[in-house]
Structure 1
Amino acid sequence: MVRRRTLFFLSFIVLVAAIARKHGNWPSRTSQCRTIPGDTSWPDSKAFDDFNKTVNGRLISTVPIASVCHQPDFDQAQCDALRNVWFFPETHLESSSSPMAYPFSNNSCNPFVGSDTACTLGGHVVYSVNATSVEHVQATIKFARKNNIRLVVRNTGHDYLGRSTGAYAIAIWTRHLKSLELISEYHGTSYDGPAIRVGAGIESQEAYAFAEQNGLMVVGGNCPTVALAGGYSQGGGHGPLSSRHGLAADQILEIEAVTANGRLVKATPTSNADLLWALSGGGGGTYAVVVSMTVKAFTNTHITMATFSLMNNGTNADAIYEVLGTFLQNLPALADAGAFVAWVAAPFGLLMSPAMGPGIHKEELDLLIKPTLDKMSDLKQEFSYSSTEYSSFLPGYDSLTSTWNVSDYNVAGRLIPRSLVEEDTPALVEVIRYISEQTISTGVTFNVNQSGPYNVSANPYWRKSLFGMVVGTPINYTDYSKTIAGQDLITNDLLPRIAEITPNGGAYLNEADFQQPDFQTLFFGENYKRLLAIKRRYDQDDLFWARTAVGSERWSEQSDGRLCRV
């Protein structure tokens, strides 16, 4: 009897399934995926028109900026002009959809191929909302949730991991949430002093200028177009003042954000403290949409900038890497004095470009760099060196190049612990030589372990690190397979070389490998479990998704770009 009932039950299930399939009610592939154009569930034109009204006409239908290089929009003069500046972040900054890191367009609408090649959306978002108010953010969240559409948070688009774009998505474009407010005397649970409240779209250069006008400085990015409140600070964030004042995440006092349920919340150490903690180093684009952030500000000071270059003349490679060893051993003293040092090792030679010393006079910085200069002299190398002191931070920062070519490479990196430099410099030099004789490698040196304790979610590995090392392979715009091969070289060969000498290591999640299989441990360290719990608390349905972000492993991009649960 039991067996007969079981068979009857199974037969009933099969019959129900058959009826459901016949009438179109059976759960389809799309029930576990975000809807895309062509699905019956994709909103019709009227729905988008109605939505556009709710955001005051700020819905933008994506037209890739390189469409001028393709029929039917081809314009030779405009195409040539675009090609000349394609490699700079400013080119993509003005766009609501163009990814700064070209490979994440999926090679769609490539400006460097023939005009008869199709210009498709590929990895570009389908629509963007130019959000200039909290209400615009809330309306977009509501529309995406109601219609099961992939949602992307895009600020300046200055992102190496493809998190500011996404196939078939709607982007909340926060770049024009521009506001700056000086708080002369901020009083909080752990900080009393000057602060600045910045809108989500304020770039580092804008924050620096505003602070300078008020006799202050703020921790911001090296590149001027990095938005302070975006994924930069949310991911940790290093910059010219980091050795003096810590990570960008260490400066966050309050955050205003819109959560996945459309609610505007203020996150402080006493209200929504878990969200504040997660957004202070735990990665952007996955917990909530930040609309403003309040950060510490510091009294302005003089700054010295210094550079040197030692070029490879074809016969001095051994000498260059001997100098590199001395330079690496010299870095702890520089970082401990408050300097932030950027350097490059590449087939063409060794550059320090620059060392930035806030609060350090020229004579002091020259003395700190002297061991490396002496080494070059001892080895009878031809090199150039210069240093200049400025009376305040902004003139020194502005002395750097005004355009930063950061879009022309696949990039990824890892954090290098101070202990490795102190205990086994030769092993580190060997790995850097292996990489830099093939392609470009860069380092940014800091000490962010001077002012703890740290109640932020940035990977604890930051505190034991001396520099972040980033490797890059060139993008090939006429042969996409070579671009992919260059990224795979980073993933499968170059970064594993660094991993071998930094076991149980870490990476800066904004300058890491988007193909990293164990990103949970490498990017977030011991904080991942707690971050995942906070993600689930504020975004149970995973409305927010970004590559390698907390909780992203529950979803996967299919070969056609569709985002589906795994």
Structure 2
Amino acid sequence: MRQLTLCTLLFALGVSIAAGLDCRCFPGDDCWPSWQQWADFNATIGGRLISTVPLGSVCHTTGEFSAYNQEACASLIADWGFPATHYKTCDSPMASWFSNASCDPFLPRTTPCTITALQRYAVNVSKVDDVQKTIQFAQDHNIRLVIRNTGHDYLGKSTAPGGLALWMHNLKATEYLQYRSCSYEGPALRLGAGIQGFEGMAAAHAQNKVILTGNCDSVGVVGGYSQGGGHGQLASMVGLAADQVLEWEVVTADGQHLTAAPDMNPDLFWALSGGGGGTYAVVMSATVKAYAEVSTASANLTFSGADVPPDVFWSIIRNFIVDITPIIDAGAVAIWAVIGKTFSLTPIIWPGGNVDELQMRLASTLRMLNERNMTYAFHIQHFVSFWDCFMAMNPHSNITEAQIGGRLMPRGVLDHSTDSLISTLRQISEQGAVVSGVSLNVSRHSVPDNAVNPAWRDAAISIVLGTSYNYTNRQVNVECQSLMTQELVPLLTDISIDSGAYLNEADWKQPDWQSAFYGDNYQTLHEIKEEFDPNGVFWARTAVGSEAWTELDDGHLCRSDDL
């Protein structure tokens, strides 16, 4: 409380809260590099430095970055929900919370367009040398450094107020190879750090192979997705994305260009494989397992509970979740959501499965719908390949604006406390939150030794909650975020005390994030962080070691010991 009072006093006096503290250099500070120093740095990297101009600048008439254009603004607002609008930039986060309404196209045009919440510069990385020189420049000038690919990021890990970003998005090389090591021999793909799901899948498809990617096909494969665990529609067949990685090509905080594999830098390999992105090293590429194409059975289902009592609606949802368990254990993945009084399955995918057995596992749910004369939409189909199935059945995903939180629901809860699970999901839904789930089993086969949160190995459902986002009222968003942290996620935690959360799809204000996101691995991960990045060159919210620093309200990143 004493520190809070001091902070308030400093703000009142117009004095920078970071004065005299051990903080990263921030625009406006005396230590900030001059224009000439930035220009000289740009020359060393072949002119690949990009000065940030917020996307929303075309919608504002005031502020340092205003560049109002009525037609361009209307086009931006129309396209705002599409991932490409953001991933084609080096700065715009898809989770609008982390732009902090600094240059929001939805606010009145007279609202000042500022850049406070975003990084000031980014380097469009093309090669290892770009990364090495950027790391050195950031350390020489004590500048906050962040790693960014697409901006698919619910926890703000790739957004660095006042910082410098390594933009990995244009590292698009792919290579198919027959990989041989002491632990694996077989087909593999080497993917550049900028490869997205649709690109990685296409590269595999060209070889009549498949690889694990995210449900949203524009998510980057190599970055935080795989480094944080990563699930997808093949996960019950092959495991998590972190389980697929055979080696990582990285640049460390001291500029070394290394390969991390089970037999080369094994500690770093272990940490990168599930221990979270953006904190141990800069990943240039990853080599992942590829698998033979497989015929696939799939179905989708949508129904409304608007015309039946809530008890009936939720009893059907209960039946669905329980009855699909045997085919989940046989390799299927089900992606489902409850939004108000509507349930949607989009879709269930069973690589190697057959339509008749899939139909049988959904028959009791369909029968309950028919007995109540409920209207529903249902489609089931056999595909000759997983690729064909994914292209036909996987809906295009737009950006997620919601405040989110999540929990990995253990198999024991599903098997033995089903009523508690369903009543909890119903309670959350009736408070206005979206409830989404991915039913899966990522431990059907042998599990590799990596840093994946141990809670994943017993998970039956990855549950993600969402509360609404308001583009014009920050206070409403603060309240929705508070509801997530203080009420909704704790309801899930109460019925899964010994579990955890998926660190890529979770509440960024999770109070016990070290244990929730990393489990018993945290101490070992912290030791590896200290070994490879003792000076905290890489920092990201809720990443391992991030508690050593605190992000202040004005954007400064300062040593926690000084606060």
Task: Measure, in 2, the Cα distance between the counterparts of 1:370 and 1:440.
Answer: 26
Amino acid at match of 1:54: T
Q: What's the Cα RMSD here?
A: 1.3
Structure 1 residues 417-448: Cα deviation after superposition (integer angstroms, max 9, x where no partner): 11101001111111111111222110011101
Instruction: Tell me the alpha carbon deviations over residues 377-407 of structure 1, each in whole angstroms, 9 at most, x when there is no partner.
Output: 3444322211122211222111145631233
Residue aligning to 2:13: none
Give 2:59's aligned amino acid: C
Aligned to 1:443: 437
Distance change (3 Å), C-alpha of 1:402 and 1:140? farther
The structure 1 residue matched to 2:93, chosen from 96, 99, 105, is 99
- Give how far 1:286 is off: 0.3
Q: Does 1:47 align with 2:37?
A: yes
* 2:57 maps to 1:67: yes
Q: Deviations over 1:221-270 (max 9, x none)?
A: 11011111110000000001000000000001000000000111000111
CA distance in 2, matches of 1:398, 1:297: 18
Cα deviation digits, residues 507-543 of structure 1 (max 9, x gap):
0000011101110000000100000000000000000
Name the structure 2 match of 1:427.
420
Contact 2:297 2:383 survives alignment (8 Å): yes
One-letter code of the match for 1:537?
E
3-state SS, counterpart of residue 229 of structure 1? coil
Size of the aligned set, in residue pairs, is: 538
Tell me the equivalent position of 1:382.
375
Say whether 1:112 aligns with 2:102.
no
Instruction: Tell me the equivalent position of 1:406.
Output: 399
* Residue 301 (structure 2) pairs with residue 308 (structure 1): yes
CA distance in 2, matches of 1:314, 1:555: 52
Question: In structure 2, what is the equivalent of residue 167 of structure 1?
Answer: 161
1:247 to 240, 246, 253: 240
Matched, 1:329 2:326: no
Write the distance in 2 (CA, Å) between the matches of 1:384 and 1:400: 14
What amino acid is the match of 1:48?
W
Aligned to 2:22: 32
Structure 2 counterpart of 1:206, from 199, 206, 224? 199
Structure 2: stretches of 5+ with no match in the other structure: 1-17
Structure 1 position 366, deviation (Å) = 1.4
Q: Which amino acid aligns with 2:219?
A: V
Q: Report the 3-state secondary structure (helix = DSSP H, G, I; strand = E; otherwise coil) of the residue aligned with 2:374.
A: coil
Answering whether residue 289 of structure 2 is matched by residue 299 of structure 1, we say: no
Question: Structure 1 residues 30, 187: CA separation in 2 closer, same or farther (over 3 Å shift)?
Answer: farther
TM-score (norm 2): 0.94
For 1:228-239, list aligned pairs within 5 A: 228-239=221-232
Contact 1:332–1:418 (8 Å) recurs in 2: no
- Does 1:368 pair with 2:361? yes
CA distance in 1, matches of 2:72, 2:125: 28
State how 1:145-294 maps to structure 2 within 5 Å: 145-183=139-177, 185-294=178-287
CA contact (8 A) 1:240 1:340 kept: yes
Match of 2:14 in 1: none
Give the match's secondary structure for 1:520: helix
Q: What is the distance in 2 between the residues matched to 1:421 and 1:189?
A: 38
State the distance in 1 between where 2:428 and 2:122 align. 39
Note closer, same or farther for the CA distance 1:123–1:331 as it changes in structure 2 (3 Å cut).
farther
In our comparison, the structure showing a higher alpha carbon Rg is: 1
Helix, strand or coil: the match of 1:560? coil
Flag the 1:562–1:314 CA change in 2: closer, same or farther, 3 A: farther
Please name the residue that 1:520 is paired with: 514
Q: Aligned-pair distance for 1:559?
A: 1.2
TM-score by length of 1: 0.93
Contact in 1 for aligned 2:21/2:559 (Cα 8 Å): no
Q: How far apart in 2 are the matches of 1:511 and 1:310?
A: 26
Distance 1:82 1:59 in 2: 24
Report the AA paired with residue 360 of structure 1: G
Task: Tell me, in whole angstroms, the C-alpha distance in 2 between the residues paired with 1:171 and 1:114.
Answer: 29
Q: Give the deviation of 1:86 after TM superposition.
A: 1.1
Shift of 1:335: 1.0
Q: Secondary structure at the match of 1:375?
A: helix
Aligned partners of 1:88 and 1:407 also within 8 Å: no
Give the letter for the 2:468 counterpart.
Answer: P
1:124 and 1:51 mapped to 2: Cα distance?
Answer: 20
Query: Is the 8 Å Cα contact of residues 235 and 282 (structure 1) preserved in structure 2?
Result: yes
- Please tell me whether residue 546 in structure 1 is matched to residue 536 in structure 2: no
Residues 366, 402 of structure 1: alpha-carbon distance in 2 compared, 3 angstrom cutoff: closer
Inter-partner Cα distance in structure 1 for 2:555 and 2:401? 23
Q: 2:136 aligns with which of 137, 142, 147?
A: 142
| Aligned with 1:500 (options 474, 494, 498) | 494
**Which amino acid counterpart does residue 69 of structure 1 have in structure 2?**
C
Cα pair 1:88 1:403 within 8 Å, conserved = no
Between 141-150 and 402-411, the greater mean CA deviation after superposition = 402-411
- State the partner residue of 1:23: none
In structure 2, how many angstroms separate the alpha carbons of the residues matched to 1:452 and 1:242?
Answer: 13
Tell me which amino acid in the other structure corresponds to 2:520: E
Where do 5+ consecutive residues of structure 1 fail to align?
1-27
Whichever residue aligns with residue 113 of structure 2, its letter is C
Shift of 1:410: 1.3
Alpha carbons 2:443, 2:457 under 8 Å: kept:
yes
Specify the SS of the correspondent of 1:376.
helix
Secondary structure of the structure 2 residue equivalent to 1:228? coil
- 2:408 is matched with which residue? 415
* SS across alignment from 1:306: strand
